[in-house]
Amino acid sequence: MISNDLLEILACPIGKAPLKLEGDKLVCTSCGAKYRIEDDIPIMLIEEAELPEGISSPDELQCAEGA
Ligand SMILES: [Zn+2]
């Protein structure tokens, strides 16, 4: 389980937007990319992220536009 303290320091690796916990994944509140959690360790890699519907490349994410 991810603690609130950890959740607070984690951010989207692209746009540094805050994340929220959704089921067993962390979801970026800005671009919607989903990061899975393995053995209580969030995998904060854009290459490993689950992209939102309609997005085929990380470059198209909302977070990437401000980065
Ligand atoms: Zn993001």
Cα distance between residue 58 and residue 9, in whole Å? 22
> What pLDDT does 47 receive?
92
Cα distance between residue 25 and residue 66, in whole Å? 23
CATH of domain 4-66: 2.20.25.10
Q: What is the pTM of this model?
A: 0.89
**Domain segments of the chain as ranges:** 4-66
Q: Ligand 1 centroid to 49 CA: how many Å?
A: 10
> What pLDDT does 16 receive?
93
Cα distance between residue 23 and residue 58, in whole Å? 22
Confidence of residue 66 (pLDDT cuts 50, 70, 90): low
Q: Ligand 1 centroid to 39 CA: how many Å?
A: 22
Q: Ligand 1 centroid to 65 CA: how many Å?
A: 10
Neighbours of 12 (CB within 10 A): 26
pLDDT at 1 over 80: no
Q: Ligand 1 centroid to 61 CA: how many Å?
A: 7
Q: Spell out where 13-61 has E strands.
A: 19-22, 25-28, 34-38, 41-42
Q: Over the stretch 11-63, which tens digit does the pLDDT of each residue have?
A: 999 999 999 999 999 999 999 999 999 999 999 999 999 999 999 999 999 99
